[in-house]
Chains A and B, each alone.
Chain A
Amino acid sequence: MHNSNANLSETKAGFGMWIYIMSDCVLFAALFATYAVLNGQTFGNATPKEIVDLPYALLETLVLLTSSFTCGLALIASQKNKKDWMLGLLFATFLLGATFVGLEAHEFSKLISEGHGPQQSAFLSSFFALVGTHGLHVSIGLLWLLILMIYVAIKGLSERGKEKLFLFSLFWHFLDIVWICIFTFVYLFGLL
């Protein structure tokens, strides 16, 4: 099992995906830097402390973390050629990811309806830009996942399908790591 994983990460596609993920890392770094700089520029509107709902953010974190876990299990199932298990676990990943996006959309719409929209202050702009970009990544990931599931369901579990799943899992775990940074530097630090 280790060996098949090794082969996957040494393919050209695996390396290309890795480079993409690392350049995405730089994109998020720019957004984090913007957020850190504009953190205090509230222009009389809400401060970070006023908009952070920690238990809600914790729920989002746990949902995304669990989806990352089920994605990993799906990858293992694919390497053991257990197609049904893999599809089931991918479906669980999809549901959890969709729940995460739903939770975040609800959080955003609540903030906007309370008058804390992105146009109100530099802080809120940077908050929506950072958290929204992550949410957009997750949404696009869900679309990718859906296409992947249809591909495997129709074409069966080929070597190519396994490689596609491996690339997706890299992306999905990466988004989880970015969220950990958001949870720490936006939500937890926002309370201090």
Chain B
Amino acid sequence: MSNTKSYITGFVLSIGITLAAFFLYQLHVYTHHQFPTHPELRAAFVMLAVLQILIQLVCFLHVGRKQNTHWNTAVMGFALFVVCVVVGGSLWIMTNLNTNAAATSTYINNLINVQEEND
């Protein structure tokens, strides 16, 4: 695949994927949230984003071609690892804290209810 071709392929596919995500949402509104449903839409958006990132990495940044040195790939792998730790870890810890906070507020509400009953 020549260089020009790889840019054109990347460009056309990227536009197609962006429009696909957009029209998927329009379909969702048009069918009154029946198809695709919220979880389906979420999964579709994530998959389309990952696909588009991979396409741009290959077609625009030429990752994974022979000319790329191993060091470039190693650095990218490490960055990807840190990204997963930062994003995944933050979400994990914070949702945990949120759940615990919600439990505390329920606990306090129960205490108030008990007190009101006693009054």
Q: Which of the residues B3, B22, B53 comes within 8 Å of A180, measured between beta carbons?
A: B53
Q: In the complex, how many angstroms separate the beta carbon of A122 from the nearest chain B beta carbon?
A: 12
Query: In the complex the two chains form, what is the Cα distance from A76 to B2 in whole Å?
Result: 10
In the complex, how many residues of chain B place their beta carbon closer than 8 angstroms to a beta carbon of chain A? 45
> Would you give the shortest CB distance from B44 to chain A, in whole angstroms?
9
Chain B, 29-83, CB within 8 A of any chain A CB: 38, 41-42, 45-46, 48-49, 52-53, 56-57, 60-62, 66-69, 71-72, 75-76, 78-79, 82-83
Interface status of B100 (Cβ within 8 A of chain A): no
A65-B11, A189-B42, A189-B45 given; A33·B3 CB < 8 A: no
Min CB distance, B90 to chain A, in Å? 4
- Residues of B near A25 (CB, < 8 A) are 79, 83
Q: Given A5-B3, A65-B11, A189-B42, are A180 and B56 neighbors across the interface (CB < 8 Å)?
A: yes
Contact B62 A5 (CB under 8 A): yes
Chain A interface residue count, CB cutoff 8 Å, equals 46
Q: Mark A162-192, 1 if CB is under 8 A from B, else 0.
A: 0000000010011011001101110011011
Shortest C-beta distance, A171 to chain B (Å), equals 10
**Sample of 15 more A-B contacts, CB < 8 Å, known A1-B3, A34-B90, A188-B45:** A1-B2, A5-B62, A9-B67, A19-B75, A22-B78, A26-B79, A33-B89, A54-B22, A65-B15, A68-B11, A76-B3, A79-B3, A173-B60, A183-B18, A183-B49
Residues of chain A at the chain B interface (Cβ within 8 Å): 1-2, 5-6, 9-10, 15, 18-19, 22-23, 25-26, 29-30, 32-34, 36-37, 54, 58, 61-62, 65-66, 68-69, 72-73, 76, 79, 170, 173-174, 176-177, 180-181, 183-185, 188-189, 191-192
